[in-house]
Amino acid sequence: MAQKIATGIDVGTYQVKVVIAERSDDPKQPPRILGTGYAESRGLRHGYTVSVAEASRGIRAALAQASNAARVKVKSAYIGVGGEGLDEAFSRGETVVERGDSEITERDMQKALATSERALSPSVVQNRKILHRIPLRWSVDGTRVLGKNPVGMKGARLAVEALFITAPVRHVDDLVEAVEGAGVEVEDIVASPLAASFVTLSKMQKRVGCVLANIGSETLSIAVFEDETPISIKVFPMGSSNIGGDIALGLKIPLEEAEQLKMGAVLGAPYSRRKLDDIVARRITAMFKLVEGHLKKIGKDELLPAGIILTGGGAGVTTMADIVQAVVQLPARTASLATGDAGRMQLRDGSWAVAYGLTIWGLQPHGELEPREPGSVREALGGTFGGFWKVIKKFLP
């Protein structure tokens, strides 16, 4: 029987965020948040754990806050993995259909995907853990399958092109050790950009094509979607802290004041607004030129109608969406979690998307991840569930 309550832990470079959520009795509604907690993140840099003991302390503090609010003792949790080490690899695999009547089964799909994994270059998987195996395209006897699932079709050979999302083994092990050091068992590990997509993207956006850009303190991660499936994930080593640093240096002011100006605060000192805007624009342009370059590399520049959806703690930087739209030549907007039902569920902003998304992942029964329509919450959150999870959860490591 599927669990009723799930906990998501998002361990960022500067903050640990925890969300405890309960499955709704109404299948059309998303999980109901019971409690949230956050604490200063310790022992991390660029998303990597540099001190397990320090990281555990921050996690323990955030868990205690969420647990007290929810009045629930947390025994297990789902954790998000991000950071610069998160990467992607693509491979192709093929298998002979087993049944004598040539009808394709789920077993054939599993065999083809396993073959594609074995075909990965040793350098791609050395010292790395595969977090997700995502089938992108199926073909039967050389003809592409129109649709996500070839089960029931007939043919002699089944082939798959697949996306593999990987992370450094050491980083994953350290993060698991830090969470377990806080007294919580790790149920599952999910790539942070995918966890955030449950909360910030609608089924329509994923179907027509979009980019989810999560702007953290020290990294910018993107997940590219098309046909309701993630087709690429990339992490760049720049984040909102770089913007604050540029402001501090450019205006020769303390970093604390620079961080306030970055988020649109109006301070008493006579700073040049034009100079401030120029400093911010230069850094954001540099960040999203990297995104533009990646989209060109995968052949999706200016070809994603739903544009770029900005989330994460850095998404609130003033003029961010306008600058991003000018750089990437795609519509850009900031995902908002602060209104309507989302506000009542204590989600203050997009920086909570990963933690809440992890609970959504945890509360979906295996093989039952059909898209849902959570009513007014869908409008507030921008949509949640993606149909492709019905497929990829069957292929989880």
**Does residue 12 share a domain with residue 131?**
no
What pLDDT sits at residue 386?
Answer: 36
**Does residue 142 share a domain with residue 33?**
no
What pLDDT sits at residue 259?
Answer: 87
What is the distance between the alpha carbons of residues 223 and 16, in angstroms, rounded to a whole number? 21
212 domain residue, yes or no: no
What pLDDT sits at residue 218?
Answer: 87
153 domain residue, yes or no: yes
Instruction: Give me the CATH number covering residue 135.
Output: 3.30.1490.110
**Does residue 174 share a domain with residue 159?**
no
- Asked whether 133 and 397 are in contact (CB, 8 A), the reply is yes
What pLDDT sits at residue 373?
Answer: 31
| Cα-to-chain-centroid distance, residue 242 | 21
Lowest model confidence (mean pLDDT) among 64-68, 238-242, 306-310, 381-385: 381-385
In this prediction, what percent of the chain has a pLDDT beyond 70? 87
**Does residue 179 share a domain with residue 76?**
yes
**pLDDT higher for 95 or 366?**
95
126 domain residue, yes or no: yes
Lowest model confidence (mean pLDDT) among 147-151, 236-240, 277-281: 147-151
300 domain residue, yes or no: no
78 domain residue, yes or no: yes
Other beta carbons less than 10 A from residue 337's beta carbon: 24
116 domain residue, yes or no: yes
H/E element, 365:
none
- Asked whether 252 and 301 are in contact (CB, 8 A), the reply is no
Q: Provide the token pair at 141.
A: 């006897």
Q: Where a domain ends, among 165, 181, 216?
A: 165
* Nearest C-alpha neighbor of 238 from the set 298, 169, 299, 291: 291
- Write phi, then psi, for 362 (nearest 5 degrees): -65, -30
Q: Report the side by side order of strands in the sheet with 76-81.
A: 32-40, 15-22, 5-11, 76-81, 185-191
pLDDT greater than 90 at residue 28: no
pLDDT greater than 60 at residue 394: no
pLDDT band, very low/low/confident/very high, at 375 (cuts 50, 70, 90): very low
What pLDDT sits at residue 312?
Answer: 85
**Does residue 369 share a domain with residue 344?**
yes
pLDDT tens-place string over residues 163-210: 999 999 999 999 999 999 999 999 999 999 999 998 889 889 999 999
What pLDDT sits at residue 337?
Answer: 57
**Does residue 173 share a domain with residue 78?**
yes
Q: Show Cβ contacts of residue 334 under 8 Å, excluding neighbours closer than 6 positions.
A: 309, 310, 311, 315, 316, 320, 321, 350
pLDDT greater than 50 at residue 313: yes
Average pLDDT over every residue of 70-85: 92
**Does residue 108 share a domain with residue 130?**
yes
- Asked whether 332 and 179 are in contact (CB, 8 A), the reply is no
Kindly report the average pLDDT of the chain as a whole number. 85
188 domain residue, yes or no: yes
What is the distance between the alpha carbons of residues 64 and 62, in angstroms, rounded to a whole number? 5
**Does residue 153 share a domain with residue 102?**
yes
Q: Where a domain ends, among 165, 184, 219?
A: 165
Domain that holds residue 345: 5-84+169-198+338-373+386-395
Residue 112 to residues 99, 152, 324, Cα–Cα distance (Å):
14, 15, 39
pLDDT band, very low/low/confident/very high, at 261 (cuts 50, 70, 90): confident
Average pLDDT over every residue of 314-331: 89
pLDDT band, very low/low/confident/very high, at 336 (cuts 50, 70, 90): low
Q: Where a domain ends, among 116, 143, 165?
A: 165
pLDDT tens-place string over residues 92-137: 999 999 999 999 999 999 999 999 999 999 999 999 999 999 999 9
What pLDDT sits at residue 273?
Answer: 84
pLDDT greater than 60 at residue 226: yes
Average pLDDT over every residue of 335-354: 60
Instruction: Give me the CATH number covering residue 348.
Output: 3.30.420.40
**Does residue 69 share a domain with residue 43?**
yes
Average pLDDT over every residue of 348-365: 85
Quote the number of domains for the chain: 2
**Does residue 152 share a domain with residue 19?**
no
pTM of the model: 0.85
34 domain residue, yes or no: yes
What is the distance between the alpha carbons of residues 176 and 179, in angstroms, rounded to a whole number? 5
**Does residue 94 share a domain with residue 146?**
yes
Residue 282 to residues 205, 219, 275, Cα–Cα distance (Å):
29, 17, 11
**Does residue 158 share a domain with residue 10?**
no
What pLDDT sits at residue 157?
Answer: 97
